[in-house]
Structure 1
């Protein structure tokens, strides 16, 4: 097998993306940190799973203050991950297996150790205007509270401005103070970024996932306001993305993929960003559904999330993005807790089946599914006991800020344990050895204690496993045009525990039925009209088949008496 460059422009509609967080995927040299050679050694696993694209987290040179999302050199590999030669080999080996490589790239900000910013610190430098430098507020001394040029707050806590005494001004950082924001209003900045992106395409990568890309257009004058929400989808966003497409992608002869991560984006804006006629990005990566359980205090102040609210949100995006918009479909990623613990049921009795049902619901929707490393095994959140177990800057900053305000750590621990990004960053669970097959050394973050029960060795090739269910879903998307191209009709939206919808395309119809409770569900009779002429023993009769099911028992129960067992899911197919 090799990479196929003779594809339609919208090839990614029938594709599945697998996200690798390099630090935690596979360690080849025993230093406790994942690396490129470790990934290369595990590529046969990805080929077995059947994915089409690997989204590779940042491996650029970086101080690693934010685990690689603070880039100090866009055109080199950080030594902790390997070398450019290793990356070239990874690209070659992926392509040999028919898999494309999507590079995660951050162009909203750089590291404060990037040469551009180091030079920018000099007020007389030609690169001073490559970043946002501003004097203190009138009648205020630089560095004192309230002297910041505006009232914006950073995502990682505190003001979004850092005082630089040497140059006598503040610089803007919407994330950490180690991540100064680039000034996209400067055409020299944009040209430098486009050159760098073309360099990567020439090297063989197949596209980019653009981190927080909808923050690059800041409001004119940087006025006081809501900060993050005020700058998202700014006044020149569509102009900048169209220019990037024209400068970087337009003359490329091979199939590429460009994904825009866009926190706070609305359905209306997403439809414009992804309209093929506008040539901006192929799909958005948005956050509405993973923000629904955030309470008044933010992501570490979690509130109960009833399934109908989650269902309403995702199905609204399904309906309102049609016919031109396109979305990334995901439960897990490197910034989110594990879905089976968050949206499913990680009790030992229900973990596997709920992990499979979450996969069924997601992969049958309209959009491009993403599988985050370990999700295909049903990996869960990890049990954190104290602050020493955490590594994520967001979690550590939040704990420090709250303790300074007088809160006890024991009070913070439940929210941190449930919401920390570190849940997604524990090592990939390959086998039941001490290092879970991830490393022969001491891992940079502790292995989840349940690795002995949840690991690839116990699931690959094992009928009924979470891995094999994912494998079947991926193959079904490849083989069934209705999944990639069909319309979506939400069903039974008033049911408290049943997630149901219909897909239709060129005479093919799919009915998706999924239980989100431990108790058996009686399926409303109107949903199964005209579908009950099929039985599990003769699934092809009258053109009706069981396309996908979490178990044979679930398929039999649905077809025999219209009942769906707890946390099970079934997909029926028919020709109209």
Structure 2
């Protein structure tokens, strides 16, 4: 190898290390963070109109603090057309009047920071509402407009494409369809525009990674229009960071650039955004709805979710096949698909799919960022669903969520075991997601303390089971899920081994499904967690590494230690956390 080759190789190695070092430069507060996700329309209503708002959230910050929460994530709060639960944004620089004003947001930020709580917003980076001034200006066809190329337009589509992918507005409900890729608009700017989800959500033009020469409307990523959209995205982020926001969860983060096989172009985009953020706002974070940590975290995100799509495993833990998300795409004849979820009372599931995929993703990314395992979110069902519906079962699930590495996200109401309500009417594009967006249940009563409105005015109905599933009732019960969740969050904050960036090792022997046993290690500490979500007793033998000191348990557990191995015994619906000393 000659001298030039050696120098080039060394430079390449240094550049690779520098890139990874930059991505790994996460704000310190993330390592001990516990997030709380709030769907703003459903958390607390301060003015009696049946819809939650920002002053309502401010009034509950002391409660949020009492949960051991260090950061909150709010679903979209920007001015919206409210066809898709706030994900059809009209103005990214303005708080929607239903929630309050920009001043109310600044007050929320200030009050949260005073309590040591970070605030992150939801960034719908890939599209706007068709009511957005940007889109309306763009559709006029004025080529000198600032927004002339903010969206993707074409006048010509082949008959074959037209049959398969063109969506035509329906007079009765012009924004309802999620079918297809293009919407017929017959606007001066063009006959068709590309959408992302509903018809009313035109895709912003970040360009095409590999433009098709037969499609002249497909602009490359370095064209003026896509570059202008990138600058606008950066302006939005800076606008809210300058007001004190601590980060953004980015909706559909991997989909911004079209025709991007392997997500190379969009990864480059987010790495550039990350470099800019780290330079100007190093304390802030980017959280991705990518659901593929091995792509998202090297692409520049501080946190990525493992949940209901993308990297497989979450569903096989929590989505029973007789529940809405468990039914999706399931084919009994496909033996590769799970038949029974792991956190089911009958104990017929397997942690194999989750453990293998999680372990691979975790080991590939733990030096760069964090994986988030949410208890639920606004897009899929809660843990309390079907036959998983008792406090004992939900405590076992919460033990898992709050003792895994990464950054945990508690979805509002899961700390008291709120139910996923089946068969609710569609609300603002929710479809079957309505059952997980119901109002927070504070007290007994017809509106559960969420609002002073009449029950008929509620955003969605409540179901407190005669006041049992409320904050009020569970605060009075030392054995409640709420108090158990608080003990778990306190334990996570106290034990270095339960922080976000430790080592994680599955201790289950091959072929053994119950209980789930794993070890977390960090800063010289080691924690062993054993979880049995099944109704029957079970046991496991793990290597002896020291005295097991019980820190927390739910249900009945026992241990018999010996130099040849430690036998853990768990009753049904039990979990235990040990410290190795």
TM-score band, normalised by shorter chain: 0.7 to 0.9
Alignment pair present for 1:336 and 2:380: yes
Instruction: State the Cα RMSD in Å.
Output: 2.9
Match of 1:376 among 388, 395, 415: 415
Match of 1:159 among 155, 170, 180: 180
8 Å contact 1:338–1:424 — kept in the other structure?
yes
The match for 1:191 is: 231
The match for 1:130 is: 150
Deviation, 1:507, is 3.3
Alignment pair present for 1:260 and 2:281: no
8 Å contact 1:136–1:147 — kept in the other structure?
no
The Cα offsets for residues 209-234 of structure 1, whole Å up to 9 and x where unpaired, read as 111111112116xxxxxxxxx6xx63
How far, CA to CA, are the matches of 1:8 and 1:67 in structure 2?
31
Q: 1:472 to 1:218 in 2, by over 3 A?
A: same
Alignment pair present for 1:246 and 2:262: no
The match for 2:514 is: 497
Deviation, 1:331, is 2.6
Match of 2:398 among 320, 339, 359: 359
Runs of at least 5 residues in structure 1 that lack an aligned partner in the other structure: 1-6, 221-229, 274-279, 396-419, 532-542
8 Å contact 1:216–1:234 — kept in the other structure?
no
Q: 1:169 to 1:22 in 2, by over 3 A?
A: same
Q: 1:200 to 1:377 in 2, by over 3 A?
A: same
Match of 1:393 among 424, 429, 433: 429
The Cα offsets for residues 120-154 of structure 1, whole Å up to 9 and x where unpaired, read as 112333323211112232358x9x644739xxxx9
The match for 2:503 is: 487
User: SS of the residue aligned with 2:64?
Assistant: helix
> How does the TM-score come out when normalised to structure 1?
0.80
Alignment pair present for 1:517 and 2:543: no
The Cα offsets for residues 497-546 of structure 1, whole Å up to 9 and x where unpaired, read as 3211111234322111111211121x12x227466xxxxxxxxxxx5321
Matches within 5 A, 1:57-206: 57-125=75-143, 126=145, 127-138=147-158, 145-146=163-164, 148=166, 157-167=178-188, 168-185=190-207, 186-206=226-246
Match of 1:234 among 254, 263, 274: 263
The Cα offsets for residues 148-183 of structure 1, whole Å up to 9 and x where unpaired, read as 39xxxx996311211012334211112111111111
The Cα offsets for residues 383-409 of structure 1, whole Å up to 9 and x where unpaired, read as 43xx6x3325252xxxxxxxxxxxxxx
Deviation, 1:440, is 1.4
User: SS of the residue aligned with 1:165?
Assistant: strand
Deviation, 1:47, is 1.1
Q: 1:59 to 1:506 in 2, by over 3 A?
A: closer
Alignment pair present for 1:44 and 2:44: no
Deviation, 1:357, is 0.8
The match for 1:574 is: 580
How far, CA to CA, are the matches of 2:523 and 2:284 in structure 1?
27
The Cα offsets for residues 530-566 of structure 1, whole Å up to 9 and x where unpaired, read as 66xxxxxxxxxxx532122114xx2457889842111
Q: 1:243 to 1:262 in 2, by over 3 A?
A: same
Runs of at least 5 residues in structure 2 that lack an aligned partner in the other structure: 1-24, 168-174, 208-225, 331-338, 343-348
How far, CA to CA, are the matches of 1:530 and 1:245 in structure 2?
41
Q: 1:315 to 1:41 in 2, by over 3 A?
A: farther
Q: 1:501 to 1:315 in 2, by over 3 A?
A: farther
How far, CA to CA, are the matches of 1:240 and 1:438 in structure 2?
41
Alignment pair present for 1:440 and 2:452: yes
How far, CA to CA, are the matches of 1:314 and 1:175 in structure 2?
32
Q: 1:283 to 1:11 in 2, by over 3 A?
A: same
8 Å contact 2:441–2:464 — kept in the other structure?
no
Q: 1:14 to 1:171 in 2, by over 3 A?
A: same
8 Å contact 2:552–2:576 — kept in the other structure?
yes
Deviation, 1:45, is 0.5
How far, CA to CA, are the matches of 2:466 and 2:269 in structure 1?
45
Q: 1:211 to 1:475 in 2, by over 3 A?
A: same
User: SS of the residue aligned with 2:31?
Assistant: helix
How far, CA to CA, are the matches of 1:520 and 1:300 in structure 2?
26
User: SS of the residue aligned with 2:396?
Assistant: helix
How far, CA to CA, are the matches of 1:214 and 1:282 in structure 2?
14
The match for 1:269 is: 295
How far, CA to CA, are the matches of 2:326 and 2:528 in structure 1?
36
What is the number of equivalent residue pairs in this alignment? 496
User: SS of the residue aligned with 1:33?
Assistant: coil
8 Å contact 1:486–1:503 — kept in the other structure?
yes
> How does the TM-score come out when normalised to structure 2?
0.79
The match for 1:455 is: 470
How far, CA to CA, are the matches of 2:314 and 2:194 in structure 1?
27
